[in-house]
Chains A and B, each alone.
Chain A
């Protein structure tokens, strides 16, 4: 089953306390590639806003991301969320996601939804500048998929 917002019961991720002391680091998992991408996106947004449930689905965007490596697909997805945070002052969460592979190309079709940043309603934490490539990985495991990400804050 492809994951969507309603099926997001528990998307696992954890922050790595002893890594990247000046910034933020996390691991995110999923049984499927899509679940991992959704989990990593949540982990990224959760660095900036402490309660993801406070982000209402008031505006939608549809993203199409194409890369020839899975890790760069993840990289571009997370960078898109950071882009919208600055370019449109939007906090966005994934509503649904589908990944397709054609030959060596990977494509992600993503519906995101969220709302304009509101300091009165959103408990904002710290701004993310960029996703770094330091120790950056998205790998398949026996349980599914795992991402390791460090972001510059």
Chain B
């Protein structure tokens, strides 16, 4: 596909769609991408990002990150910043999987030490971290306790001996977004979620054992700041979200907003999935409080999975996880709306930042990142396909151009149905094992859907994000073991 003529080139990696493109746009749309990525983007991205530009109270631009692709309401990779007093909040700007995110864990083990035990590690992780359709987790709590947990997030886990204070320090929002109110969550959401703590889910969710090869370290100083100091160091990365709990909250409030949006607030949107309400309205505030419960549940989910990973490594190596240096680098959220303080037109202002399939990437010195990373900038984890590998990056000062947001993954180029026709799960598994990446999956059909060829090139996405000044590469991580849902 050639670059659509309505896109105006601002620079090699910044493209703009003016407000004249579509009636109702309040601001232009800005897409961060190279020409190559832009040519690969589906037309739905341009349609959706210009729809987002119509939302009341939107500030500066409707943004799309380099991995942008078609979504629901917002494109995946969509970022929209709103005036909280006059603007709206839209569940479509967060997504169904609230706080789908990534966590990266260090070890002080090398590939040489782990290689003989990779199969055993992956088999045990597959057995002990539930993944796949409708799985239930290994934390047995009642619904009332679950309601308390979703208000406390990962803090609940640490209090119940599923982690450490250091884990919390190295988690976005320190693992707990304040203001979560379980009374704003439906009983159905609780029933869908209270047995799912400690589960990966399926689709593009995964748990990987990865290595940092010396030749893949782009910035040695930042790598060391993030704890990557050993050649062929082994790390673990996993990707999952708020499970049925968050999905139900999103569904519930989408319907509430659809009923109230026009009749009560006189707002119309070109796409039902962009349903919204004024942020300061009762509906807006209720959703914000419920969404925070889902954000917290997801942090708790990833915290107990980390606990289980540490247990597995301890069992296999007969060593204490602390002795193996199993510390958390960071945990980032992809699908959120947050009140953040940013400098706008020379003044500091509180704004509501929607990031859907986009990662927060605070630069050095910014409030909200761990003290240990103040000089380096916030760690950013961007996951590639199961065959390509992933990246650790850092937030940068120039990230202000997108309210310190960057990409979150590769983005798909082929539908699941097409991938299932083209690839065979068992063959993929064998091919990956032959290349030194041992995979266990809950579904071979699901594995076929996740074939690397179905995704954009992660190197292109990360390169575009760096060239656009959104984040900079630190290390490329290569998978050697994988658990897929």
Contacts and interface: CB of A to CB of B under 8 A. Distances in A.
Interface of A: 15-24, 48-50, 79, 82-83, 85-87, 89-91, 117, 119, 123-127, 129-134, 136, 150, 152-153
Contacts of A126: 133, 202-203, 416, 443, 445-446, 449
Interface string B49-75: 000000000000000000001111100
Contacts of B248: 83, 86, 130
B415 A19 contact: yes
**Interface size class, chain B:** 35 or more
Given A22-B76, A86-B192, A86-B244, A127 B202 contact: yes
B414 interface: yes
B136 A89 contact: yes
B445 A119 contact: no
A89 to B, nearest CB: 5
B418 interface: yes
Contact of A21 (B188, B244, B415): B415
Given A87-B191, A126-B133, A21 B69 contact: yes
Interface string B229-248: 00000000000000110011
Interface string B10-48: 000000000000000000000000000000001000000
Contacts of A127: 132-134, 201-203, 485
Task: Please indicate which of the listed interface residues A22, A50, A83, A123 has the most CB atoms of chain B within 10 Å of its own CB.
Answer: A22
Given A127-B133, A127-B201, A152-B96, A87 B192 contact: yes
A124 B443 contact: yes
Contacts of A16: 417
Contacts of B413: 21
Given A125-B133, A130-B247, 8 more contacts: A20-B415, A24-B416, A49-B133, A87-B244, A127-B201, A129-B247, A136-B272, A152-B247
Interface string B89-129: 00000011100000000000000000000000000000000
Contacts of B340: none
Given A126-B202, A134-B72, A153-B203, A22 B412 contact: yes
Contacts of A87: 188, 191-192, 244
Contacts of A82: 244, 247
B196 interface: yes
A133 B273 contact: yes
16 contacts: A18-B415, A19-B415, A20-B415, A24-B417, A48-B133, A48-B134, A86-B243, A89-B135, A117-B134, A117-B135, A119-B442, A127-B134, A130-B96, A133-B72, A133-B273, A136-B272
Contact of A133 (B191, B254, B485): B254
A66 to B, nearest CB: 14
B415 A152 contact: no
A19 B193 CA distance: 29
Given A19-B415, A24-B417, A133-B272, A117 B133 contact: yes
Closest 3 pairs (CB-CB, A-B): A86-B244, A86-B192, A21-B415
Contacts of A153: 202-203, 416
B250 interface: yes
Task: Please indicate which of the listed interface residues B70, B76, B247, B449 has the most CB atoms of chain A within 10 Å of its own CB.
Answer: B247
B72 A152 contact: yes
Nearest to A150: B72
A79 to B, nearest CB: 6
Nearest to A152: B96
Contacts of B251: 79, 130-131
B320 interface: no
Nearest to A79: B251
